[in-house]
Amino acid sequence: MSSSEIERQWTTRLRHRVEGKLPPEKLLPDTQPNYVSSWIYVFGVATMSALFVVIATGCILALRGPQWWHGSAYGHFINSLHLWSVEIFFFSMVVHLWGKFAMAAWRGGRALTWMTGVITFLASVATAFTGYVSQSNFDSQWISTQAKDGINATGAGAYFNVLNLGQMLMWHIVLLPLAAVALTALHIVLVRIKGVVPPFEENPVVENAEVTQ
Amino acid sequence: MAFILSFAALIPLDSLGHYIHWGWVEISVANFIIIILMIATFIAAITAPFPGRRRRKENR
């Protein structure tokens, strides 16, 4: 195979494109700009760390099942870890969101990074909701019977039946976590490609500014 | 175990939840506390000094 044929292959073209957009030193950088040394930049990583614990504890709950998480001390412990890591996940995500909103973090061609964050937030809300209705206790029965009227009013009830425990559990442990993790990965890759948004300039140059006397 | 149970007794979970009614606003005390904590954390995050920042400035 000639070198020009190799260069035309989609694998070669894709590799060159990935290498150009995201070289290893950008994917795993050694240093960050000085302005990143603030506590407000910690909450994105805190959210990601909480997500890791959510997934890990969710895997243990899936392995052992509802009778175990309702009926044993160790099951209660892992169940509580799953709940509280979700609480920390949303807490950190909201502070991260406020911080990025205040920085107008969509500047400098970062609109897609911002939008993937927005969609990840929405997917996470849906994941948490299906988790609440999948607990298999009186709380989940109460939440699902309260939610069904709202969902049915949107017309989505025909496809998304909150009273169907099997369907809600599948959404909670397969579809929505896949979406949330994939979107989080995409969000992080975009942050690495574009870098952390710089702060606002103290004295920005205003183009076409009119001087009045 | 008794130590853990003494913590659990601080917040009675077998009673009805408490709600704040403020005009048309109705919010549970638990959710209200979480929102206040998030606001406090946000303010602390943008005002509290980050460890190592001063050292980095001195090195410049």
Q: Across the interface, which of B34, B42, B50 has its CB nearest the CB of A98?
A: B42
Chain B residues touching A94 at Cβ < 8 A: 38
pLDDT of residue A179: 96
> Measuring CA to CA, which residue among A72, A53, A75 is closest to residue A63?
A75
Give A4 to chain B, closest Cα distance, Å: 49
Confidence of residue B17 (pLDDT cuts 50, 70, 90): confident
- Mean model confidence pLDDT for chain B: 82
Query: What is the tens place of the pLDDT at every residue in B24-60?
Result: 999 999 899 999 999 999 999 999 999 876 655 555 5
Query: What is the tens place of the pLDDT at every residue in B20-30?
Result: 999 999 999 98
Chain A within 8 Å of B52 (Cβ-Cβ)?
yes
Is B46 close to A34, i.e. CB distance below 8 A?
no
Per-residue pLDDT of chain A (213 residues; tens, 9 = 90+): 788 888 899 999 999 999 998 898 888 888 888 888 899 999 999 999 999 999 999 999 999 999 999 999 999 999 999 999 999 999 999 999 999 999 999 999 999 999 999 999 999 999 999 999 999 999 999 999 999 999 999 999 999 999 999 999 999 999 999 999 999 999 999 999 998 998 887 666 655 555 554
Angle among Cα A101, A105, A109 to the nearest 5 degrees reads 145
Is A91 close to B48, i.e. CB distance below 8 A?
no
Is A99 close to B42, i.e. CB distance below 8 A?
yes
Give A15 to chain B, closest Cα distance, Å: 37
Chain A within 8 Å of B37 (Cβ-Cβ)?
yes
pLDDT of residue A177: 96
Give B41 to chain A, closest Cα distance, Å: 7
Half-sphere exposure of A116 (CA within 13 A, CB side): 17
Phi first, then psi: give them for residue B22, nearest 5 degrees.
Answer: -140, 90
Residues 111-130 of A with CB under 8 A from B: none
Q: What's the complex ipTM?
A: 0.82
Is B42 close to A34, i.e. CB distance below 8 A?
no
Torsion sign, CA atoms A54, A57, A59, A61? negative
Phi first, then psi: give them for residue A159, nearest 5 degrees.
Answer: -110, -20
Is A39 close to B45, i.e. CB distance below 8 A?
yes
> Measuring CA to CA, which residue among A172, A68, A182, A205 is closest to residue A120?
A182
Chain A within 8 Å of B40 (Cβ-Cβ)?
no
> Does A105-197 carry CATH code 1.10.275.10?
no
